[in-house]
Amino acid sequence: MKLKKIKNIRLGWVFFLACFVFAVVLGRLVHLQVFLSPEYSKQVERQSSGQQEIPADRGLIYDRNGMIVANNIERQSLSAWPKNKSEVKKIASFLENFFDLPKGTAIKRYKLAPLKFSWIKRKMSDASAAEIASLNPVGLHLQDEIERAYPFGEVGKQITGFTNIDSKGQAGFELWYNTDLAGKSGVAAYRRDGNRNRFRIKEQAIRQPLPGQSKVLTIDWQLQEILEEELKAGVIKHNAELGMALFLNNRNGEIIAMAHYDPDEKNPNKPQKLRVLTDLYEPGSVYKIIAAAGLLEDSTMNINDTIYCEDGLWRMGRNRLRDDKKHEYLNFRSIIELSSNIGIGKYAVEFGGEELYQLSRKFGIGTKTLSEWPGEQSGYISKPKKWSDFNVASLSIGHAVAVNTLQMANAMAAVANGGTLYQPRLVLCDVDEKGNPFNETSATVIRELMSEKTSDTLRSFLRGVVERGTAEVVNSQIVTIGGKTGTAQIYNPETGRYSYRRYMASFAGFFPA
């Protein structure tokens, strides 16, 4: 009897303990599932899911004929996200083997650490990405990214510029219109499994990426390639330090081609500037077209009169003005065709320094032409407190003034088209996703500079420059060319004088004349 009672007591305690343990477990489950559920749900959500940026396609860039000159290609990038120190070591070992790195260097090289994101290789080759995908190493992840591509290589690269690894414009047109071209990234939700491999929850993104705006340039890429080839050949032939060239349509201001060639340029595939816009120079005698336009427009001047050209040397107090060749009496046509500094200088003195200065400003000298282009220079034109004869004469022959190539080309364009100064353009229109143009640009007149009669007269003089004057070397049997040469001594800031060994040779012209 006593033994039976003891057994019942033991069974009671066992039952009680079992019930107690069950109650504790049940209570803990209730505590976890009910009271701590929101907190643990958040932790699970953080560890197993997240949001991923979907990069937007960057807008394409076309030339005027519809050829794509800046495109997008899809690449895969490799990143690491180890969960513990053991995985850090495994990832490091894998990377050292895969990329043939010295043992023990991967952790520091890629800054590997538990629960820390690290880029390993951005925008890998397709073959490398495929091999890594097949091996599926734990803690390493592949994701799609957009890479900018330029089908024509270095041709026109000074214009298009380039982007960085994150597809942001760094120079040229890519930088100028980066906001329009970039678009807006989208967002997608994902889940991670135990190995932290990512899986999209839905095909539909939380926020769809908005593609960048595609643009059509005024540039003709075939002519651009020809220009660059000829420019390079000219620099090499004449052993020049640098060459610049620009073509534009003088009837509407569209830039057709522009480039520079610098044999010492360190990285032509990633040009930092476009020298036809960023580099300034003294134009020399090419600038005479501006003085000539003002003088011809002045009704008091008779172009048939002659002026004494001092037999090649004009003394103005302590200053001197020289001609390359000795001339005595020349009429205005001959002054332009033979590029007499003294002849145009004497006429300019009669015209007046302030008048010549204001005329230069009207031609766009000292003003930016593509005002938002990265690094474009506005140029410089001096205005002394008091105009001496030498100041005026110097300005008329392109001294004491600094221009960029586009400014000088646009000034000549105004002479060629009948006297109208147009705003230079580099963009024709935008293009939608179906290839339809919109936001088309149109010719913008800045101002009228001279009458048609003045333009006709000056054009005939500039045709004479090519036929029998200083630019006979460019005369062509195929197309009639008019223009003006310039040879300016380069100023040496160290000596404070002009060099007798270094020159800026230039030609501004138009065709057909």
Q: How far is CA 188 from CA 49, 81, 454, in A?
A: 11, 19, 65
- 146-186 pLDDT, tens digit per residue, is 889 999 999 999 999 999 988 899 999 999 999 999 988 77
Q: Give the end-to-end CA distance of the chain in Å, rounded to a whole number.
A: 135
> What does 259-324 look like in DSSP terms, one character per residue?
EEE-TT-S-TTS-S--HHHH--B--GGGGHHHHHHHHHHSTT--TT-EEE-GGGEEEETTEEEE-S
Q: Is the peptide bond before 493 cis (omega within 30 degrees of 0)?
A: no
The residues facing 285 across adjacent strands are none
Lowest mean pLDDT among 146-150, 190-194, 299-303, 470-474: 190-194
The pLDDT assigned to 194 comes to: 53
Question: Model confidence at 126, in pLDDT bands (50, 70, 90)?
Answer: confident
Q: What is the dihedral of CA 101, 105, 110, 111, to 10 degrees?
A: 170
Of 225 and 124, the one with more pLDDT: 225
- 493-509 pLDDT, tens digit per residue, is 788 787 888 899 999 99
- 72-108 pLDDT, tens digit per residue, is 998 888 888 888 888 888 888 898 889 888 988 888 8
The pLDDT assigned to 2 comes to: 65
- 328-370 pLDDT, tens digit per residue, is 999 999 999 999 999 999 999 999 999 999 999 999 999 998 8
| 3-state percent helix, strand, coil for the chain, nearest multiple of 5 | 40, 25, 35
Is there a contact between 506 and 486 (Cβ–Cβ < 8 Å)? Answer: yes
Q: Does domain 221-510 fall into CATH 3.40.309.10?
A: no
Cβ contacts of 475 within 8 Å, gap of 6 or more: 466, 467, 481
Largest CA distance in the chain: 153
The residues facing 217 across adjacent strands are 427
